[in-house]
Amino acid sequence: MKVNFDGLRKNIANSYTRLISDYQQIVRELDVVNEDNNLLFDLKSDLDEMRKTVAALLYCYDEESIKKENDCHNLEEVANKLPYTEFL
């Protein structure tokens, strides 16, 4: 099975972005404006850690693969657009 790694990594980034959007909507709906809520603070910390992992995956590339016109490019521009989980 041939896999498009750039597409797979972009799909992971898009899923993460939607997850953060949902998280921020929940924070708004619960009207949480501080970091006193331990559960949401823990979730925020976990999501921030996930962002680092997703970004690291997007930064990975293979020069030999690129030379052969395969799909393992540096997706730094996608990584830089990943949202942060901030309390609104």
Count of domains observed in the chain: 1
In a domain, 75, yes or no: yes
pLDDT at 73: 83
> pTM (2 decimals)?
0.81
Per-residue tokens: 6: 């750039």
Burial class (CB in 10 A: 0-12, 13-18, 19+), 51: buried
pLDDT at 36: 64
In a domain, 66, yes or no: yes
Structural domain of 46: 14-80
Please tell me the chain's helix, strand, coil percentages from 3-state DSSP, rounded to the nearest 5.
Answer: 65, 0, 35
Per-residue tokens: 13: 């980034």
3-state DSSP call for residue 1? coil
pLDDT at 27: 82
pLDDT tens digits, residue range 56-74?
999 988 777 766 777 788 8
* pLDDT tops 90 at residue 49: yes
pLDDT at 86: 76
* Amino acid at site 13: A
In a domain, 69, yes or no: yes
For the chain, what is the mean pLDDT? 85
Task: Please give the average per-residue pLDDT across 29-44, as a whole number.
Answer: 74
